[in-house]
Amino acid sequence: MKKIRNYLASVIIIALVFAGCSKEENPGTVISDDNMASISFATVLNDLTNRAQLDKAHVSGFPLCSDAIPSYVIVTITGEGYDGPENLEISVSPNPGDYDNDGEAEYFTLESDDLELPEGTYILTDFAVYDSGDNLIWVAPKDGSTLANYVDDALPTIINLSAGTKKYVDVEVLCYDKRMVNEYGYLFFELETNVALDFCFFANYCDENGRHFTAMYSVNIWYGTDSNGAVLYSGVSPEGQQTDAGEYFTEPVCFALPMPADGVEDDENYLYYEVSLMPWDGNYATPPTIVESGMLSLDDIEANFDGDDDVDYEHIRFGCDDEDGPQ
């Protein structure tokens, strides 16, 4: 695992620089088909230590940066002329150089046939950079996110392509820190793709008379040991159903959970959840407010595995005397 360093009182931004040139400016960038254009990328690491004007009030810390070397990028591009994969992977050249004489090394992406496109307007909506171990190291924040305040031009980026040219577009990215996963503007599982663990909940409710009902409930899950962690899921509930005989039932609600970070022991808690009892008209009268909470370790999650393919659910029993809580 790469040694992590914290750039105190600073933010590290990697600017992926795309400089545009036309046929007249640089004949070497003209492509053979005059009806087509192409896109390539270059990366520049900028230290913004002296940008004291940055507003830090909305961020609980700065992203941690690693010494990892970029290996490839995954981008999402939309536009009428683009027919490549939804998530396009592009390799990064292993030979960086200071091509603009600014004292910083640039990593260039290799050419991609998927980025040879007809003239037109395209939109870059997602941009992530990975090392050779498939670890996410840099992310371009999206407009409206907390970390968008730390770049000059957050995604999405509009790209106008003219026929016969190779286009370079500026994209600023920040070091990726899993602790701040929700602050880049992406859904958690758009960035944390190494998800391998299933975990399910099911719940019953006992009223004041001790009668048991299938419960309606809402689940929140955080990456961390309390509700200050990164939100993984918020307000997820089962679908309330009825049999032909009018009996109320639900299926368990299941979640894909991330593996613990490197260095976290199997018996060490790294996830926190809250399960809240919800009303269910027709099934039971308005219930009291009951919230069951708990933490999960890898051992806890794997304890519910039943063979290679099945997962037992965590059984929550709201108001059921000594049976309250997770089972």
- Same domain for 144 and 200, yes or no, is no
What pLDDT, on the 0 to 100 scale, is given for residue 227?
A: 95
Q: Can you tell me the distance from the alpha carbon of 29 to that of 236, in angstroms, rounded to the nearest whole number?
A: 51
Residue 232 CA, distance from chain mean position: 9
- Same domain for 202 and 112, yes or no, is no
Peptide bond between residue 63 and the one before it cis (omega within 30 degrees of 0): no
Strands 195-206 and 313-318 come out as parallel
- Same domain for 179 and 284, yes or no, is no
Residue 225 domain-assigned (yes or no)? yes
What pLDDT, on the 0 to 100 scale, is given for residue 26?
A: 36
Does the pLDDT at position 157 exceed 60?
Answer: yes
- Same domain for 180 and 224, yes or no, is no
Task: Select the more confidently predicted residue: 261 or 285.
Answer: 285
- Asked if 158 contacts 123 with a C-beta cutoff of 8 angstroms, the reply is yes
pLDDT mean over 211-231: 94
Q: Which of 191, 220, 239 is the last residue of a domain?
A: 191
- Same domain for 159 and 204, yes or no, is no
Q: Which pairs count as long-range contacts for 146-149, CB under 8 Å and 24+ apart, including other chains?
A: 146/58, 146/59, 146/183, 147/59, 147/63, 147/174, 147/180, 147/183, 147/184, 147/185, 148/185, 149/54, 149/55, 149/58, 149/59
- The 10s digit of each residue's pLDDT in 10-40 is 344 444 443 333 333 333 344 455 678 888 7
- Same domain for 214 and 185, yes or no, is no
Q: Which of 145, 162, 191 is the last residue of a domain?
A: 191
Burial 79-107 (b: 16+ CB within 10 A, else e): beebeeeeebebebeeebeeeeeeebebb
pLDDT band (50, 70, 90) for residue 172: confident
- Same domain for 73 and 169, yes or no, is yes
Domain interval for residue 60? 9-191
Residue 4 domain-assigned (yes or no)? no
The proportion of the chain whose per-residue pLDDT surpasses 90, expressed as a percent, equals 45
pLDDT band (50, 70, 90) for residue 60: very low
Residue 320 domain-assigned (yes or no)? yes
Residue 2 domain-assigned (yes or no)? no
- The 10s digit of each residue's pLDDT in 101-121 is 777 777 778 888 998 999 999
Residue 18 domain-assigned (yes or no)? yes
What pLDDT, on the 0 to 100 scale, is given for residue 34?
A: 64
CATH classification at residue 257:
2.60.40
Nearest C-alpha neighbor of 271 from the set 249, 293, 289, 303: 293
- Same domain for 170 and 279, yes or no, is no
Q: Can you tell me the distance from the alpha carbon of 154 to that of 141, in angstroms, rounded to the nearest whole number?
A: 6
- Same domain for 20 and 152, yes or no, is yes
Instruction: Please tell me which of 138-152, 154-168, 291-305, 312-326 the model is most confident about, judged by mean pLDDT.
Output: 291-305
**Continuous segment of H or E residues that includes residue 160:** strand 157-161
Q: What are phi and psi of 302, to 5 degrees?
A: -70, -20
- Asked if 317 contacts 206 with a C-beta cutoff of 8 angstroms, the reply is yes
- Same domain for 176 and 222, yes or no, is no
The proportion of the chain whose per-residue pLDDT surpasses 70, expressed as a percent, equals 77
Nearest C-alpha neighbor of 221 from the set 234, 211, 210: 234
- The 10s digit of each residue's pLDDT in 178-192 is 777 778 898 777 787
Average pLDDT, the chain: 80
pLDDT band (50, 70, 90) for residue 193: low
What pLDDT, on the 0 to 100 scale, is given for residue 275?
A: 98
- Same domain for 250 and 182, yes or no, is no
Instruction: Please tell me which of 40-54, 202-216, 247-261, 297-311 the model is most confident about, judged by mean pLDDT.
Output: 202-216
Q: Which of 153, 174, 191 is the last residue of a domain?
A: 191
CB count within 10 Å of CB 44 equals 21
What is the number of structural domains in the chain?
Answer: 2
Strands 65-66 and 212-214 come out as unpaired
Residue 1 domain-assigned (yes or no)? no
pLDDT band (50, 70, 90) for residue 148: confident
Task: Select the more confidently predicted residue: 42 or 6.
Answer: 42
Whole-model pTM? 0.61
What pLDDT, on the 0 to 100 scale, is given for residue 260?
A: 86
pLDDT mean over 205-231: 94
Does the pLDDT at position 143 exceed 80?
Answer: yes
Residue 122 domain-assigned (yes or no)? yes
- Same domain for 46 and 183, yes or no, is yes
Q: Bridge-partner residues for 203, per DSSP? A: 316
Residue 3 domain-assigned (yes or no)? no
